[in-house]
Structure 1
Amino acid sequence: MIDDLFDAARAVRDNAHAPYSRFKVGAAIRGRSGRIYAGCNVENAAFPVGACAEGGAISLMVASGETAIAEILVLGWMDAQPDAPGLTTPCGGCRQRIREFAAPSTPIHIAGPKGLRRSFTLAELLPESFGPDNLA
């Protein structure tokens, strides 16, 4: 079921601009409509003004007129260490960006070059989160 997300994240990861860290990341979001939105990380020599893959995918989703994340897949690794055991989970800022458009039960899939490594819910990655409902 997530093969299309993996394929989209892998394709966009290849376009990542990561000359400093050499850590390329691709993210693919499935909107509630079923449409897929992908983004990659874009580093900048003037740290920290780079952009995360998840943020790029969210921006594309919103620019396309959709505002709800059904699920997301994050794919990242250093080319020199594709079999490193660590998980490339969203950073804290991206977890909060995801929260703006996702429910606590939204699946967040973490993948490496060979496929899915683990899945979480947003609530597992960002427990007791602050979101739009706090301002209602």
Structure 2
Amino acid sequence: MAKKINVQVSLDLIEPQDWSEMEKELISRAKAAAERAHAPYSNFLVGASVLLENGAIFEGNNQENVSFPVGVCAERSLLSFVVGNFPNVRPLKLAIAAKKREGASYAFVTPCGSCRQTINEYEIMFGKPIEILMLHENGSILRASSIKELLPFSFDSF
């Protein structure tokens, strides 16, 4: 007989008035990065910002390509850049914001499967979690303390 396995996820929902100064900065920079996204096909703009342990903050966005699926998500383009250029500096926090080009309001998104696995790879590499901040359409932040909250069965058992 099969046994049932239950996975429990615990995320924090943070209202705007309770955001830390760093959360405000990271979300603001993710929004700004989204505005610069190259998304001529989907018109769906995604921006990300990351805080490194040395205090530096970097931004990235989605980069689409007519030769689908050659495009790159905001999270992966950003993390590839920072880890490629600062291989010994751990990412601490990653913020994500998304919207339609013609819309004024933001949409709620979580990292896609490829991005989740990429974040997982960097958590393994640095031996510590990366906090993930996802802007919700109602203006709050959904915060995961680690990618393990969004990817409980990761591809890392080698």
**TM-score normalised to the size of structure 1?**
0.83
Deviation string 1:57-107 (CA, Å, 9 cap, x unpaired) is 1122123214522110011011344447x5211100001111111267432
Where do 1:1-20 residues align within 5 Å?
1-20=22-41
Q: Structure 2: which 5+ runs fail to align? A: 1-21
1:69 is aligned to 2:94: no
Label 1:4 to 1:114 Cα distance change in 2 as closer, same or farther (>3 A): farther
Q: Residue 88 of structure 1 aligns with which residue?
A: 109
Higher relative contact order (Cα pairs below 8 Å, separated by 6+ residues):
2
Q: Residue 36 of structure 1 aligns with which residue?
A: 57
Q: Count how many residue pairs are aligned between Structure 1 and Structure 2.
A: 132
Higher mean C-alpha displacement, 92-101 vs 64-73: 64-73
Q: Which amino acid aligns with 1:3?
A: K
1:123 is aligned to 2:116: no
1:110 is aligned to 2:144: no
Bigger radius of gyration among the two: 2
Q: Structure 1: which 5+ runs fail to align? A: none
Q: Residue 52 of structure 1 aligns with which residue?
A: 73
Label 1:61 to 1:110 Cα distance change in 2 as closer, same or farther (>3 A): same
Whole-angstrom distance in 2 between the partners of 1:104 and 1:123: 11
CA contact (8 A) 2:108 2:137 kept: no
Which has more strand, going by share of residues?
1
- Secondary structure of 2:95's counterpart equals strand
Label 1:97 to 1:38 Cα distance change in 2 as closer, same or farther (>3 A): same
**TM-score normalised to the size of structure 2?**
0.73
Q: Which amino acid aligns with 2:56?
A: R
Q: Which amino acid aligns with 1:110?
A: M
Label 1:17 to 1:97 Cα distance change in 2 as closer, same or farther (>3 A): same
